[in-house]
Structure 1
Amino acid sequence: MKKIYYIILLSLLTVTFSCSKEDDLEPTDMRYDYFTVSPDANDEESILRRKFYEDHNIHLLFNDTLRHEQRGTYADGTPHWFTELLDLSYDITTTKNETRFTYIRDHQKQEEGIRYAETYILPHLGEGLRPYSIFLVETLEEYGWRWKTVAYYNGKRCLALATQGIAEMEEEELKERCIDIFYNIVDSKTNYYDEELNDFMALGNNLHGETLESAGLSDDPTNEEIYALGFLTWSTWYREFPSRSSDFTSFLKAVFYQKEEDFKARYASYPLILQKYDIMKEVVKQKGYIF
């Protein structure tokens, strides 16, 4: 029996000694962030990108190629290249739509794109909402059931902005164009079950997803009856109050797409709606949106 113990002890000592002799592991590919402009680059585009990062702490891109490096050679002597692309639709939790775009080739148009981002978008995005990078492109398309032209694409590590025609747009038109961007960014950072929305949901009085009958309403209620209970929408098909998710969405859209004075004038007789609107607007501010 002692012999067995000695063998086990010797084995453990051998393993311990072997582990202590191993060299420290060092990670490979320790180069800086590939969104960053190379410190040696001094062309016009690189200067624009570097200054933008210094001013806003956001990487600026005009090209979706993050790196293109030689990684040795093949047997026949030809170089082996490694290319990393931006991949706008990258997401580890879900599948997003494909995109396609055209580059901005003209330096003046690149500067116009920067002014667009700096003047109309970044002033409204606090730290919690700012993208890791902004990709300025000439045209941008997204594929759903078909390809369609879009003004932006909000990805996990990049906000892509189409700039074609912005130089000819009036200020109000540009502001209107940005509302969709702001709504999408805030919506992507907010969930109806967030703790900040507990008070909002409580005003639904446990009616979310319940039948109209449960609140003593008919199958064909008036809008006023729905509004009095604090809801902006209801399901005409299922004769139900909105789900928590739908209720959240309807008020978030109201905050972004309706002027506050107009909204409050329209629903002045419905205190629950006004309370929910104020809570939603405060949550949007807490998320980092600057009105």
Structure 2
Amino acid sequence: MKKNKSIYISSKSLLFLMAYIVVTVLTISSCSSDDVEAGALKEDEWLHPYGTSSYDQILQMNFYTKNHVYLLFNDTLKKERVGTNPDGSPFYNYEDVKLNYKLTGNNGGQEEVFQFNYLSSDTDKKTGTEFVQNQILPHLGGSLFPFSILIVDKINYYVSNASTYYEMTLTNPSVYTGSRCTAIALGNILNMTSDQQVIYQKTILKSIINTQLQSLPSSTFDDFYAYCNAYYSTYAMNDDATAFFKKYPTPYNLGLLDGGYYSYGAPYGFPIYNIKAKSYDLADYTNAVFDYTDESFKAKYGQYPIVMAKFNLLKKIFSEIGVIF
């Protein structure tokens, strides 16, 4: 008679065996059927925002197809009923564009509130869309290129900070550039002449660019400011001013544009100069970049090498952040 032999399995081996059986069963069961159903696709609320009319949708779809930028006429993206209030009225969950949304979550201690007057007619919406399409987007690239554009009649921007003792101050900017949406006020575009539209176009573009410039390292403008750094926010009179005017007979010789400094001399009084702060110098050249072509600027200032160097430096900086001239 044979004796039964006992089989001993260690606890470690037993755990390994059980794990192997589980994996094998799962593998077999997963291969036993190819019927895998995908979940329902979530609708793109930026492309199909809440409350849009059929006409709005035509403009929005065509705009997105051509530019890959979302077009909005209302800051509400989604309105969804999620419950009922104690009084029986419906309770809704809203999702809006959050114009002041910041990736860092830090608003610098400011309280910001936006209210909008919306465009009401299809004609206004069509004209505003064409203005943005033809006059704004062709000049924006790189980091300046927007994720979405909200076209409205008027922007009501309330902001409070320490300097106003936290009282809300109302302004009506032509444009507000947020990280995920740029709002543009185009309520008067129908009443503008073509020349007025060009001026308004430049106002919007400069505002968008200035917002971007504020986020750049201060060293970005070191070369630009270097030419006049010794003279910003300075003044002198009498003999010192006379010596200055002999060295720099015009603002352009120093590298400043029109209005770069105030000066008085004979026959109006004693000689004196008073040079503006560097921020004004940057603003003057920013205006020049948009007001002149390269050819027209050179025709006016070509004999002043410092002016030409600063103009070209600023255009280079603008190009690097995405400005398309």
Same fold (TM over 0.5): yes
1:142 deviates by 4.6
User: Are residues 1:130 and 2:145 paired?
Assistant: yes
Name the amino acid aligned to 2:221: L
Correspondence for 1:184: 207
Give the percent of matched residue pairs that are identical in Structure 1 and Structure 2: 28
Indicate how the Cα distance of structure 1 residues 96 and 117 shifts in structure 2: closer, same or farther if over 3 A, else same: farther
Superposed displacement of residue 60, structure 1: 0.9
User: Unaligned stretches of 5+ in structure 2?
Assistant: 1-40, 160-167, 264-271
Cα distance, 1:172 vs. partner? 2.7
**What do residues 52-111 of structure 1 show as CA deviations (whole Å, max 9, x unaligned)?**
222212111111212211223345654321123334455533437655432223233322
What is the TM-score of this pair, normalised by structure 2? 0.64
Query: How far is the alpha carbon of 1:280 from its aligned partner?
Result: 0.8
Aligned residues: 257
Distance 2:80 2:321 in 1: 39
Q: Are 2:214 and 1:200 aligned?
A: no
Q: Given residue 189 of structure 2, which amino acid in structure 1 is its aligned partner?
A: I
CA contact (8 A) 1:140 1:162 kept: yes
**Partner of residue 93, structure 1:** 107
1:16 alignment counterpart = none
Residue of 15, 25, 48 corresponding to 1:37:
48
Counterpart among 33, 53, 70 of residue 59 in structure 1: 70
Cα distance, 1:242 vs structure 2 = 4.6
Contact 2:47 2:70 in 1 (8 A): yes
CA contact (8 A) 1:219 1:239 kept: no
1:278 Cα deviation after fit: 1.1
Does structure 1 retain, via aligned residues, the 8 Å contact 2:175–2:208?
A: no
Alignment-derived partner of residue 250 in structure 1: 284
User: For 1:221 and 1:89, how far apart are their aligned partners in 2?
Assistant: 47
Q: Could you tell me which amino acid in structure 2 is paired with residue 277 of structure 1?
A: F
Conservation of the 8 A alpha-carbon contact between 1:90 and 1:96: no
Offset of 1:277 from its aligned partner?
A: 0.8
Give the stretch that moved more between structures: 66-75 or 49-58: 66-75
Contact 2:156 2:170 in 1 (8 A): yes
Instruction: Summarize the alignment of residues 136-147 of structure 1 with structure 2, pairs less than 5 Å apart.
Output: 136-142=151-157
Once the two structures are superposed, residues 150-208 of structure 1 have per-residue CA deviations (whole angstroms, 9 ceiling, x without a partner) of 5433334322223334234333321221001111111111257455534323333x415
For residues 266-281 of structure 1, the aligned pairs below 5 Å read 266-281=300-315
| In structure 1, C-alpha distance between the alignment counterparts of 2:73 and 2:89, rounded to whole Å | 29
Among 228, 231, 241, which residue is 2:256 paired with? 231
1:175 pairs with 2:189? no
Aligned to 1:153: 176
| 2:252/2:304 contact within 8 Å kept | yes
